[in-house]
Amino acid sequence: MEANFQRALALTLKHEGGFADHPSDPGGATNKGITLKTFRQYVKHNGTVADLKRITDAQVATVYKLHYWNKVKGDDLPAGVDYAVFDFAVNSGPKRAAEYLQSLLLVKVDGIIGPQTIAAAKRADAGQLINALCDKRLAFLEALETWETFGKGWTRRVSDVRIHALAMAMEGHTAPSPYPEPQTPAEPKPAPVGKGGAIAALFAALAAVGAWLANFPCNLFGFFCGG
């Protein structure tokens, strides 16, 4: 969901760290998880390693929003699922993250998250989907040749993603109230008068008029009154 981007970005950057140029990392020089190739694509087309080292927070946010969050449709995915897919995309590429999500949702696996994938994600149980995605992601990482070098860090990262994604999913779920909604009592309606009731009311009215006329002098002038 759209409101989760900044939070997801902060959590992801915690694992990406600062500048690194590890010889075993096929991505080459990176800073805050952004490779030189990606930096050139979204920030400066002829950027150098020195430029990458000086990347600003605003540039970082731009790259992550355009290159990862938007590509996995983070704004449209359920809370928690959005972060789990986003971090997977940052770590292993948007296409792979999308394909793994689609395989779990049993929709067409093409690496492009569209209406069908989004609808299926919204129908799924967010907690189960997050756990399954994290399990599948970790299995993929364990099969990589670089597992011996980065395995411990990746394990910590996926575990952390799982914890925070599940928390976000719980926060985004509104449980139904255990108490019934208070009901405003309806105004009582007068009972309908049937045919018999109307005739009885008419005779009662006529009797009252007759009684008043019988005592007309008394009622009007105050004399000829018995008692």
Task: Give pLDDT, residue 214.
Answer: 54
Instruction: Please determine, for residue 216, whether its predicted confidence score (pLDDT) is greater than 60.
Output: no
pTM, full prediction: 0.72
103 CB-near residues (< 8 Å, 6+ apart): 109, 136
Asked if pLDDT for residue 200 goes beyond 90, the answer is no
pLDDT digits (tens, 9 = 90+) for 96-132: 999 999 999 999 999 999 999 999 999 999 999 999 9
Domain ranges in the chain are 2-171
User: What would the CATH number be for the domain defined by 2-171?
Assistant: 1.20.141.10
Arithmetic mean of pLDDT over the chain: 83
Q: Is the pLDDT confidence value at 66 over 50?
A: yes
Q: Who's near 112: CB < 8 A, 6+ residues apart?
A: 98
Enumerate the β-bridge partners of residue 30.
20, 35
Please give the share of the chain, as a percent, with pLDDT higher than 70: 74
Residue 193 has pLDDT above 90, yes or no: no
Q: Which of 140, 146, 94, 134 is nearest to 117 (CA)?
A: 94
**Sorting pLDDT into bands at 50, 70 and 90, what band is 215?**
low
- CB count within 10 Å of CB 32 equals 18
Which of the 8 DSSP states describes residue 65? Answer: I
Confidence at residue 227, expressed as pLDDT on a 0 to 100 scale: 43
Residue type, 60: V
Check if the beta carbon of residue 102 is closer than 8 Å to that of residue 108.
yes
| Mean pLDDT of the 48-70 span | 96
Angle between helices 81-92 and 126-142 (to 10 degrees): 20
Q: Is residue 58 predicted with pLDDT exceeding 60? A: yes
- On the question of pLDDT at 175 being above 90, the answer is no
pLDDT in tens, 126-158: 999 999 999 999 999 999 999 999 999 999 999
C-alpha to C-alpha distance for 173 and 124, rounded to whole angstroms? 13
Q: Return d(Cα 195, Cα 43) in angstroms, integer.
A: 87
